[in-house]
Amino acid sequence: VSSPRPPLSRQNTVVEMDKKSKKASVNGGDQQAGDPVSAAQQIWEAKYAEDEERQRIAFQAMLQQKCDELRSEFSNIKSNTELALSEMNSTKEAVFNEIKNTITKISDEVDSMKKQPRQVQISTSELGMKAYQAHEMKLNNYGLKLDELRKS
C-alpha cells in the first residue's frame, strides 16, 4: 500500500487549470500510466498557465506603477496651473487697480482744470512776431534818427 504523495505546485496549477477549463483533473500526481502524451500536455499547459499568470501579475504591477506616475504628474501639473492662475489673477488685480488710480487722477485733474478760469494764452509764434515787429520798429527809428543827423 503506497501512501499518497503531496501534490507538487505544478500539479496544483494543473488541477486548478483543469477546474477552470472543465477538463478531467489530475489528482496529486496520480496519472494514468498508459497516456504519457496527455500527462506531458497537461504539464506543458500548467507551465504555460503559470507563465501567463506571472506575466499578467507583472503587467498589472507595471500598469499600476505607470498609473501612479501619471496621477503624480497630473497632480503636479494641476497644482502648477492653479499657482499660475492665482499669480495671474493677483497681477490682473494690481494692473486694474493701477489703471483705475490713473483714470481717477486724470479725471481729478480735468475737473480741477474745468474749475479754474481760463487765461488767454498767446502762442509762441504770436510772441515771436510781436518781438520781431518791436525790434524792426527800433531799427527803423534808429535809421530815421541817423538820417536826420546826416542832414543836419
Identify the residue with better confidence: 87 or 26.
87
- What is the Cβ-side half-sphere exposure of residue 71, based on CA atoms within 13 angstroms? 6
57 and 129 belong to one structural domain: no
Domains held by the chain: number: 2
130 and 57 belong to one structural domain: no
Does some domain include residue 57?
yes
pTM higher than the cut 0.75:
no
**pLDDT digits 0-9 by tens, 37-52:** 788 888 888 888 888 9
Sign, CA dihedral 83-88-93-97, equals positive
Does some domain include residue 111?
no
**pLDDT digits 0-9 by tens, 108-143:** 998 888 888 766 665 667 778 888 889 889 988 888
80 and 151 belong to one structural domain: no
Provide the grid cell at 14.
Answer: 494543473
Domain that holds residue 137: 123-152
- What average pLDDT score do residues 7-27 get? 52
